[in-house]
Amino acid sequence: MAYIDLVRQAQPQQRKQEVLVSTEVTQSSGLFEWEQKPMTPEFIGSGSLDLSQGELTTGNISASNISLLGGLYASSSLGNSLAITFPLGYMSGSVKVHGDLIVEGSSSFNNVETMTIEDPILDLNFSGSTALTATDAGLRVGRSGGTNAQLVWDNSETRWAIDNAAGSNINIVGVSTTDTLTNKTITGLATSTMASAANITFSGDGEVLGLPNSPSVNGAATSKYYVDERASYLRKQYVKKAVSYSGSATFGDFAGYKTGSFNATTASAPTGLSATNENDFIFFLNGQYMEHDALTIKQSGSLFQVQVDTDSIGYVLEASDEILAWGKFDA
């Protein structure tokens, strides 16, 4: 049986923050040796260490590594409260902070695959609840091998902007902002209206494209096609001469014809205008005006024909007559 030599080792030198530790039994004396060593966790084992008494209440614990299973508690006059919960598994589980986490430093890195934030509003450029000096701020998305994309509050412009990986910011169009749109396609404006007295101004040779051939309502903008089609129709005034007569007719003792034919085609009126009729033509017989109410016109294939009511007009057409028609023919 080994013994402790209390006489020889009863008065060791007193040094703070150290404990007496028994060594192996020496072969020469058969007694335990005692040494003073710094306090380490291995001396506690599965027991507990109470640091709430004496000078240790204001001291510190220093160690290269501290292994904790379960949680870290904070003590107060109200008792012990769980402050941090540690995972029980190696490289698994979660560390839970029971309270607010305040990091005092210049950077905080979160190398995680998924981050979930319950607060619907993220505060940027704040120290606690205090706003810092106004500056550019926003979110940046890294793109390895390419230009980063970002959503930025442009402080000098006092508005939001985006950089869609092009290397420069593009202002986000606002309701009350004045902006220049370049190569933009605007959709979904079927029921949109402009404010009263609002204007669209084009510089240089800018144009409104894509207008329909015919406007659907009064006050709608019209296309070049719509204007040109009507201008062309309204300008059509051509003179044609009858090339033949047909349809036997008599008036009193005179026999002749009632229909004169022209190598001409009636011009078609554009959509929205009244169809071309006899009121769009004037006829002359041997230089004399022919009354409209005694005439009927029709298109028969490639021939334009005028038919006279001999009883109303008071004569028949003769082969030697010359009828000239002036009106809306196709050229």
Looking at the structure, do residues 258 and 317 belong to the same domain, yes or no? yes
**Pair of tokens at residue 138:** 């926003």
75 in the same domain as 16: no
Residue 267 and residue 316 in one domain: yes
Question: Residue 209: inside a domain, yes or no?
Answer: no
Q: Which residue matches tokens 């505060």?
A: 123
pLDDT tens sequence across 8-66: 555 556 666 676 666 666 556 666 666 777 766 666 666 566 655 555 555 566 666 66
Backbone angles phi, psi at 304, to 5 degrees: -95, 130
320 in the same domain as 244: yes
- Per-residue pLDDT, 329: 96
- Higher-confidence residue of 171 and 302: namely 302
pLDDT of residue 14: 60
With cut-offs at 50, 70 and 90, classify the pLDDT of residue 148.
Answer: confident
The DSSP code for 58 is G
Rg value, the chain, Cα: 52
In contact, 125 and 132? CB cutoff 8 Å: yes
320 shares a domain with 246: yes
Q: So what's the pLDDT on residue 170?
A: 84
Q: Is 109 part of any domain?
A: no
Q: Over the stretch 149-198, which tens digit does the pLDDT of each residue have?
A: 999 999 988 899 998 777 788 888 877 777 777 777 777 766 777 778 87
- Express the helix, strand and coil content of the chain in percent, nearest 5 each: 10, 30, 60
Nearest to 76 by CA among 57, 93, 61: 57
Query: Does residue 13 fall inside a structural domain?
Result: yes
For 226, residues 6+ apart whose C-beta sits below 8 A from its C-beta are: 211, 213, 214, 215, 270
pLDDT above 60 (res 7): no
Residue 29, domain extent: 3-47
| Separation CA 33–CA 24 (nearest Å) | 7
Q: Which of 171, 194, 225 is the last residue of a domain?
A: 171
* SS3 track for 212-262: CCCCCCCCCCCCHHHHHHHHHHHCCCEEEECCEEEEEEEECCEEEEEEEEE
* Phi and psi, residue 55, nearest 5°: -70, -20
pTM of the model: 0.47
Is the CA virtual torsion 24, 26, 30, 33 positive or negative?
Answer: negative
Q: Report, as an integer, the average pLDDT of 260-283.
A: 93
Give the other-Cβ count within 10 Å of 309's Cβ: 14
Residues 243, 323 within the same domain? yes
Q: In this predicted model, what pLDDT tens digit does every residue of 314-324 receive, in sequence order?
A: 999 999 999 99
pLDDT at residue 195, as a whole number: 78
Residues β-bridged to residue 149:
141
As a whole number, the mean pLDDT across the chain is 82
- Burial class (CB within 10 angstroms; exposed 0-12, middle 13-18, buried 19+) of 313: middle
Domain boundary among 151, 171, 191: 171
Residue carrying the six token digits 């941090």: 84
Residue pair 71/83 in contact (Cβ under 8 Å)? The answer is: yes
pLDDT reported for residue 245: 96
Tell which of 153, 171, 189 closes a domain.
Answer: 171
Asked if residue 166 belongs to a domain, the reply is yes
| CA separation for the pair 326, 280 (Å, rounded) | 9
Q: Please check whether residue 96 is in contact with residue 84, taking contact to mean a CB–CB distance below 8 angstroms.
A: yes
User: 161 lies in a domain?
Assistant: yes
pLDDT tier for residue 199 given thresholds of 50, 70 and 90: confident
Report which DSSP code applies to 93: S
Task: Please report which confidence band the pLDDT of residue 202 belongs to, taking 50, 70 and 90 as the band edges.
Answer: confident
What is the per-residue pLDDT for 59?
A: 59
How many domains in the chain?
Answer: 4
Q: Is residue 272 part of a domain?
A: yes
